[in-house]
Each structure stands twice: as C-alpha cells, then as structure tokens.
Structure 1
Amino acid sequence: MTFYINEKQKALIKQHYQNYKIDNNDNSYESFQYHNITIEIYKNKVIFKGNKEEIVEEYRSNWNQLDKNQSPIIGNAEFGINNFFGPIVIISSYIGSGNLEKLRLLNIRDYKELSESKFIELAQDIMKTIIFESVIINNRKYNQWIDAGYHPNTIKTWGQNQALVRMLQHRIQYDKIIIEKYINETTYYQYIENMKDNRNKIIKDKVEFLTNAESKYLAVTCSTIISHYLFLEEIKKIKGIDPNFIPLGAGQEVNLFLAKIKNEKHIEFNKFLDRHSKKSFTEFFK
C-alpha cells in the first residue's frame, strides 16, 4: 500500500512508528518493522509491505485519513498525443469512498516499476474496480481535424470534455474534477468553444487544472494507467506488422522504423501512414 505524502504527514507517520525503526543499507528511505508490516518512508511517499490483513487494519485504524481528499473525485488523463503511431486515448475515472481501500491494496502508485504483464494485470484490476469512461480518437479522425486546421491540443481538449460528458451521465456525486494541466484554463475552454465540430455541453463546474496531478490524486493515476493500457491494446490492432516492434513516442526510433518498413513489399507505406500515424508529426519524418 503506497501513499504520496507531504512533510507534515511524513512526520506524523515517523512519530507513530518511532519505537519500531530498523536499520537498512539504503539511505534513500527509513525502515520500520511493526509486527508483520514493513513501513518504508521515502522523501515524498510511504510504502506499507507485508501481511495484507494487518495492513488493512492499519489503514482502517490510522491511515485512511491520508485518503480524505481522494474521493469523491473525477480525474482525467490522456495517452497518445505525443506518439507518432496510434490513437489518442482520454480517460475519465471516478473514485468514491467505497473503492479506495481496494485501490490502495493494488499499489497503483508503483505501476511504472512493473513488468508489462503485471502492468496489464493492474490496469485490468483497476477497470474492474472503478467507474471510468473512455474517448478514443483514431488516426483517421485525428488527421481529418488536423486538415481542418485544428491544433493537436484542441483535439485533445475536445476529448477531455467528451470524456467528462460521458462520465457525468452516470449521475454521480463528486467534489471536484481534476485535469492534468497542459494549457491554461482560459485557453482550454476557448479551444472547445472554437471547435465547430463540438456538439457537447462544455463541462466547467468544479473543474480544476493541476500540474503533477497524477502524484496527488488517485483518480488521475487510474486514468493514466487505463489510457496507457487501452492505447497499447489499440496498437495491437495494427495489421501487417508485429505491434511489439512499433516504437512509442516520436523520436529517432520512429525514423529508423519508418526507414525499415518503407522497403517491406507487403506494406503499402503511404496507406499505412494515413491509417496509423498522426499528420501533425509527418513533417518531422519526411
């Protein structure tokens, strides 16, 4: 069970377990052994390891207070806009008090350290635990909007709002909506208002834009994980080439990959690009 914490919370946890401190060989964290639980306190997070039942008891008795700002929250995240290949995937996730404990036991905060198989398992577990909505903008639609003169961030912003429209159809109660800040609030709403293709209500009530939102709100973390997972699932649908060799991002690896497949006779190169790549990147890979 992992929590991101501030200095005040860290001091409180250290004081609580001060009589149970143990030595370790790593200066990056402090260790405490409380019965069958190991507590590791880092610069900005604390990890509880060990017996599941005892960890749950500690959570319920002492540390559920660390989750007082985590529900009921809607959190949005996106994956794909900075990738040459594949769609844009925007996820809106809702977390209520009823699923916080189960989410904590999934150790969501440590997902970046997981193997691919464990990451997939985690993403699927999250999707079974929470309410979420997805908006997947495929390359064909994305490229149509680019040809129409829309900026990539306008397209992304439309997707953010569309995911919220779908989420609020669940008629859930929520304290706030958190969106990872990538543009300022005024520009965000201008993008949606100026997009002629938008036919949706613009969601503004209780919306907050935060930097590093993923490290502050589990709802945003869940959306980040699900969006990454669904993006990879979409990549697997690309036919004619092994999806395991399609590079993520938009760097030199993409250039090398394009040079390789351009000479493969079974691939119609231009059609492949039209169907699976983003036109906003193509000028960099001519």
Structure 2
Amino acid sequence: MNTVSLTLNQKQIDTLFETYRSKAVKTPAYAQYQLKLDGCTITAYDSKKVVFQGRDAEEMAALFEPKTLSQPPLQHAAELNGYPQAGSDEVGTGDYFGPVCVCAAYVDASHASLMQSLGIQDSKQLSDEQILKIAPKLMAEIPYSLLILDNYKYNQVHQTQNLNCIKAKLHNQAYLHLRNKLGQLPALSVIDQFTPEASYYRYLKNEREIVRGITFETKAENKYPAVACGSIIARFAFLKAMDTLSEHYSFKLPKGAGPATEEPIQQFYELHGEQGLMNAAKLHFKNTDKIKR
C-alpha cells in the first residue's frame, strides 16, 4: 500500500474536507476526519499531518506539489505556490575566527505564519541579538540539517581543497541529511549560489552520494524563505561556536577579517600561539601573514 504524509495548514485541511465531504467516514482517534475515496484514504490528524494511503496515494498527494499548481483541484491550491521548498546557506566563510556552518532547511505552507511572525529574512540583515532570539523558535518547528566544520579540521582540509570545494561538500552533505529526515527532498531545493553549477558538481565528482536537481541562485536568501531559514540557523550556530571558543580561550574573539581584527589577532597569537590559531582561526587568510612572530 502506498503511503504519503504531508503537513498542511488548517485552511487547506478544511478545503480538502469540503471538497470530498461525501466521502467522510468514522473519524479515527487524534484525527479531524477521514475520507475514503476510490483508490485513496485520506486522514487529517489534529497535528495537521495529512496521510494519503492506497493505490492513488501518490497521485492525490502530488496535487500539493508546486509542479501541479497550474491545475489545482482545490479552491485554495494557489496558497501552496512555492511550497514545499528546501534551501541551504553557509556562514563563517568570511570570518578569520570561528567555524564554517552550513544549514539546509525545509519549509512548507504550514510554516508560513510562523515565518511571518518571526520576521524571517536573510541573517545578514538581522542583528546577532535578533538571530539568538529567532533561531531557537525556528529550530523547534522546521526540519533542518546543520553542519559545523571546526577550525582544526578546516585548516587540515584546506591544504588540499579550496574554499568553494569545501562549501560544495558541506552543502551536499547537509542536503543528504535533510533528505534522510524527510524521506525525499521537495522539487524546489535551492542553494545560495557561491560557484557556478558546473563547478559545484565538479567539486563533488568523487563523492559517494550526490544530491542533484538543485536550483542555484545568487541572493537566494532574499527570494526563498527556506534559504533565509537556513541562513539564520547557520548564523546562530556560528555565534554559539564563537561564544564557546571565546570562553575556552578567555578571549573575546572578533568577527570578520578586516583591519579592526588585526590587533586582537596579534594579542590572541601572543597568548595562545600557533596551536591556538590552528584551533580557532582560518590560517589561509591574509591576516595570518600580518602576525608579528
């Protein structure tokens, strides 16, 4: 028996019931209703999860995919435009201190009100205080995959791989993990583009498993809520990692890599030496060459 589970918002659930009211049967426990159609049983649970079971389960569930919205069977199907979607972004690549964090996130129409209430937007447009407040609420509600590459490992890997190669492998792994959580990725899965598509897949040519069918767009965090969510969660992880490193070394590590960081970097080196830099900084940055040894 084919089974497909989706999470819908309440208006979609109500519209679905009104469309097939005549097919309603006895309601199971913890459900709003159950519909028995020819070839498919649809159960809408109190949690807003809707389960399609039977020979035509995939066909019925596919009505909620963006690719079929041009012929919506439900009155409010247009509300699903652009959902579900997944998106990934990275944080920390421009900072001398701290790890590289990549997050792939998934959102669908049921998350729209949450994202609106939290004011979801690109993490670069939010203050650190806003990120620390928003991210935990987001992480409690949406599926995501977060990868954190610490500095020691980063410095080792960067000896043989450039930054774009490292990012490509992290994004691919984040999407693999997210796919495992979801069962399958939505048709619309986006990466905030940092390298051309051909180069991205070239970096992955020796990987055991590769996620394909990705959409690559620049400034995607301003176009796709899923990318914005990934950006926020990645930034949150970066901020937490910086706090942990600062506490470990009893030294307030600066963000960024500009001129304002030169003096703190020198002070950090004098206190913690080469090993400290290996564990807390990205050694290939030009900032390392400016240290007075």
TM-score by length of 2: 0.67
Tell me the equivalent position of 1:277: 281
Tell me the equivalent position of 1:212: 219
Cα drift, residue 112 of structure 1: 5.5
Tell me the equivalent position of 2:228: 221
1:202 and 2:210 are equivalent in the alignment: yes
CA distance in 1, matches of 2:219, 2:101: 19
Cα drift, residue 118 of structure 1: 3.3
After superposition, give the CA deviation of every residue in 1:12-63 in whole Å (9 maximum; x if it has no partner). Answer: xxxxxxxxxxxxxxxxxxxxxxxxxxxxxxxxxxxxxxxxxxxxxxxxxxx9
| Distance of aligned partners of 1:107 and 1:85 in 2 relative to their CA distance in 1, 3 Å threshold | same
Larger radius of gyration: 2
Match for residue 169 of structure 1 among 173, 180, 189: 180
For 1:108, what is the secondary structure of its paired residue? coil
| Distance of aligned partners of 1:280 and 1:66 in 2 relative to their CA distance in 1, 3 Å threshold | farther
Match for residue 250 of structure 2 among 231, 238, 241: 241
Contact kept? 2:131, 2:235, Cα under 8 Å? no
Gaps of 5+ in 1: 1-62
For 1:279, what is the secondary structure of its paired residue? coil
Task: Give the alignment's Cα RMSD to 1 decimal.
Answer: 2.2
Cα drift, residue 97 of structure 1: 1.7
Cα drift, residue 241 of structure 1: 2.3
Tell me the equivalent position of 1:105: 117
Report the identity percentage.
26
TM-score by length of 1: 0.68
CA distance in 2, matches of 1:115, 1:202: 34
CA distance in 2, matches of 1:187, 1:123: 31
Cα drift, residue 102 of structure 1: 1.6
Cα drift, residue 277 of structure 1: 0.8
For 1:144, what is the secondary structure of its paired residue? helix
Cα drift, residue 261 of structure 1: 2.8
| Paired amino acid for 2:189 | I
Tell me the equivalent position of 1:259: 266
Contact kept? 1:152, 1:280, Cα under 8 Å? no
| Paired amino acid for 2:242 | I
| Paired amino acid for 1:159 | L
What pairs up with 1:121-132 in 2 under 5 angstroms?
A: 121-132=133-144
Gaps of 5+ in 2: 1-75
| Distance of aligned partners of 1:112 and 1:179 in 2 relative to their CA distance in 1, 3 Å threshold | closer
CA distance in 1, matches of 2:219, 2:258: 24
CA distance in 2, matches of 1:84, 1:90: 17
| Paired amino acid for 2:203 | Y
CA distance in 2, matches of 1:168, 1:91: 13
Cα drift, residue 262 of structure 1: 3.5
